[in-house]
Amino acid sequence: MKTAEIAQRYLDFFEKNDHVIVPSASLVSDDPSLLFTVAGMVPFIPYLNGTVPPPYRRAADVQKCIRTNDIEEVGKTARHGTFFQMLGNWSFGDYFKEGAISYAWELLTSSEADGGLGFAERDLWVTVYEDDDEAAGLWQRIAGLPVERIQRLGREDNYWSTGQPGPAGPCSEIYFDRGPAYGREGGPAVDDSRFTEIWNLVFMQYAITNVRSKIDFDIVGELPNKNIDTGMGLERVAFIKQGVDNMYETDQVRPVLDRAVELSGRTYGAVHEDDVRFRVIADHVRSSLMLLSDGVTPSNEGRGYILRRLMRRSIRAMRLLGVDGPTFPDLFTASRDAMKDAYPVVETDWSRISQYAIAEEETFLRTLASGSTILDLAVSQTKDAGGSSIAGEEAFLLHDTYGFPIDLTLEVAEEAGLTVDRAAFDRLMHEQRARAKADAKSRKRAIADLSVYSRYRAQGETIFTGYSDLETESTVLGILVDGVSVDRASGGQIAEVILAETALYAESGGQVADKGVIVGPGYELDVLDVQKPVPGLVSHTVEVTSGEVGVGQPATTVVDAANRRAARQAHSATHLVHAALRDTLGKTATQAGSLNRAGYMRFDFSWGQALSDATKSEIEEIANNAVRDNLEVTTRVLPLDEAKAAGAMALFGEKYGSTVRMVDIGGPWSRELCAGTHVSTSAEIGLISLVGESSVGASNRRVEALVGLDAFRSLAAERAIVSQLTSSLKTPRDQLAARIADLQAQLKAAEKKIASFEAKSLGDRLPALVGSAATVGSHRVIAESLGAAASADDVRSLALQARDRLGSDAAVVALGAVVGERPVVVVATNDAARAAGAKAGVLAKAAAAALGGGGGGRDDVAQGGGTDAAALPAALAAVTAALGGA
């Protein structure tokens, strides 16, 4: 039974049983404390904890998930994968334990001919929470399971919570017995390799508080509405139904594994280490494909870092299988073909997805090449110094700065007969992870308890009137100070104010929040920010500038009209620039993010190279022609499917409901899903002036523009500068560029001549330097400060010349100088000095320490520097002292 068929049977079964079928949410979670949708219940959390009223009583879905906390286990077990699909059925105050158990047992054990999954009853075991007599009794009554196949486990295994105060409850897990070949008898309590969990039924019935750990908390009572949250692992059911040993061999994953086998020329099933690598590749490539399809792009932070890590682990695994060249064109194509029936977007958006994947592989292959060069130098220096271990700091630098995998560092070191200080590396990694966890924890604390908004959201969605009105009368529904609900706020306090209606736009879709005030009888509030803390609810962060505001009082929101007008211009300009980009570069130049505020817009798009000046001018001209043509701007609210069928573009990462707002500028020329505020006709934008174009990733570019009056003021300022230059240089405007280029050439020639004079001046000092040589220990030593020098290269050249003049006896030259206000010391040694133990790199480090900096280099010539120019005499003395002890 194919994976897609299992999913469809699941949805058909629950639809037949009056469940609303909900499409999968994005892998990019709405929850700001999560990078990804890590479990099937994540999109339903607002309904489960009562923050947002559920739009249906019962639902079912197939949810895409990404989880990387067990990434080191991928490929080693039958069930660990970073991307997985969770089948879920949900009840919000409707059916409870009996219904959940009945539905699960019926679907699992009904014959395939009747639309079920056809599991044999004898192969199924269940676990229940140790005190849940009700669930145990229902399993006996509904499924006829004998007591010995119903095992009771404690909180660690069979009690669910979010880890925060709120809803929680016991759960019941269903296991499949894979048979004696996979482990011991005795059920899931004894061996969870043989007995594989396939479905978890969570009975959310209690409220908990004082959460001290996963198993240590206080139950404070029953919930008014008991909910059902279930999750069945699609991949786990698939590998059982398809008769294979693990999820990597199922129909949606195996094609990637097979292609990796073909590319490597090795055999799957022959060597355990190779098998693990093949599975890692199959899993990680599929996960990367799905993340890319949801708009995540590789980067060095957040979600992009996780994606980059998955992709680079795949490349590394292929390298360990003997493949050094590009593989992603083959591997991603295989994954696309395996997943496109379930997720058509991977095919329809293939051009963009493949562009990112191939660019990332090319970048990392270059990283491996450059990292190998740096590592080779570290190996050489370690050996030359008589060491046997590469410093953990060096290995961490390669990993953290260059993305060079630690296992490759270990491999190269071993080939060179060295080890790596793994303890130091692991300590640095632990410190980095601790910092990341602390940062994540602080973010989670900042938004930890959204339940405070539930009482306001339960009264309905906040009505936004700002599309048509700049002032709206309403009522104060609630006031929060420091996250706590209060009755009133007075002068000087910062508070959140919840209203029934508002004309103030809440930040979303790239458009920043409106500015304005909220006024009422005896009070005035300055609006600092407007946000949507939970879907459908608008919160105004305000400063009470006069009077006192209380719950239940009348309130009028007043939008700053000038700021709103400029923000509308910027947002509409963003749509025009997007359309102009697609006209100029083609349909693959898709939006990857935007920001609009009064007078300014920035737009990120998928593109792999810098735009030429001619291309930027063309984009700017197309956008401004659209302004000139005074195109009509229209908005329509319609079903999402209808909008997509009409060609409306959606922003990756944005969440859309079943009904959306579509904005047209000039009809289909610019047609996007957008909830932002816009001008009525394009001429209202006034002017668009591109002021920047830059890279924001391997395959992402960013254009920035000023809009309206801000664009005019910028161009007027440039005009004034040009006028000043034409006057100062006494050159016509059309000849200005040539005149400046001529002046630059003259300046460069003059600088070259000055450098030549300075170098000759230094060279003239050579005889005196040689004459200053003194004997230190067994070495002839020159240790002199040159004063100011044009470049470190000049100092190096003089040091080498002086060394050669000292003959074949052991000689060391240390010259100091100030280059561009920073001190530099160059050390040169000859063969005899090195044979006697004087190494330039060691001496340069000693000098640099006195300068408050660092240094090093080869044994024959090295350089150090720092920040304290006054310490040059001490730095040269440090070289002499080091030689005296040699």
- Give the amino acid at 788: A
Cα–Cα distance measured from residue 255 to residue 559, given in angstroms and rounded to the nearest whole number: 56
CB 643 within 8 A of CB 662: yes
Structure tokens at 533: 């803390």
Q: Other CB atoms closer than 10 Å to residue 834's CB: what's the count?
A: 15
Cα–Cα distance measured from residue 392 to residue 717, given in angstroms and rounded to the nearest whole number: 53
Is 540 labelled as part of a ligand binding site? no
- Local structure of residue 386 (DSSP, 8 states): T
What value does the CA radius of gyration of the chain take, rounded to a whole number of Å? 34
Helices (H) and strands (E) counted in the chain, each on its own, are: 26, 35
Token look-up 């892998």 returns 27
Do you know the residue count of the chain? 886
* Alpha carbon 877 to chain centroid, angstroms: 50
CB 740 within 8 A of CB 724: no
Cα–Cα distance measured from residue 775 to residue 360, given in angstroms and rounded to the nearest whole number: 57
349 bridge partner residues: none
Query: Given strand 633-639, what is the order of strands in its sheet?
Result: 633-639, 659-665, 670-673
Is 578 labelled as part of a ligand binding site? no
Cα–Cα distance measured from residue 75 to residue 314, given in angstroms and rounded to the nearest whole number: 12
Token look-up 């932002």 returns 676
In 141-209 the beta strands, taken as DSSP E runs, fall at 150-153, 159-161, 166-177, 195-209
Query: Which residues have CB under 8 Å from 216's CB, separation 6+?
Result: none
Cα–Cα distance measured from residue 268 to residue 758, given in angstroms and rounded to the nearest whole number: 67
Is 674 labelled as part of a ligand binding site? yes
The phi and psi torsions of 221 (rounded to 5 degrees) equal 150, 175
Question: Can you say whether residue 558 is alpha, beta or left, with left for phi > 0 and alpha for psi between -120 and 50 degrees?
Answer: beta
Is 65 labelled as part of a ligand binding site? no
CB 803 within 8 A of CB 773: no
| Distance, first Cα to last Cα, the chain | 77
**Of 886, 147, 880, 31, residue with least CA distance to 443:** 31
Cα–Cα distance measured from residue 388 to residue 382, given in angstroms and rounded to the nearest whole number: 7
Cα separations in angstroms, 141 against 188, 227, 449, 595: 21, 22, 40, 59
- Local structure of residue 269 (DSSP, 8 states): T
Structure tokens at 781: 């030593």
- Local structure of residue 738 (DSSP, 8 states): H
**Of 2, 6, 14, 212, residue with least CA distance to 102:** 14
DSSP track, 432-479 = HHHHHHHHHHHHHHHT--GGGGHHHHTT-PPEE-TTT-SEEEEEEEEE
Cα–Cα distance measured from residue 256 to residue 338, given in angstroms and rounded to the nearest whole number: 8
Query: Which residues have CB under 8 Å from 337's CB, separation 6+?
Result: 255
Structure tokens at 636: 């329509």
Query: Which residues have CB under 8 Å from 371's CB, separation 6+?
Result: 398, 402, 403, 404, 408
- Local structure of residue 71 (DSSP, 8 states): G
Structure tokens at 630: 């005074």
- Give the amino acid at 548: E
List the binding residues for Zn(2+): 571, 575, 674, 678
List the binding residues: 571, 575, 674, 678
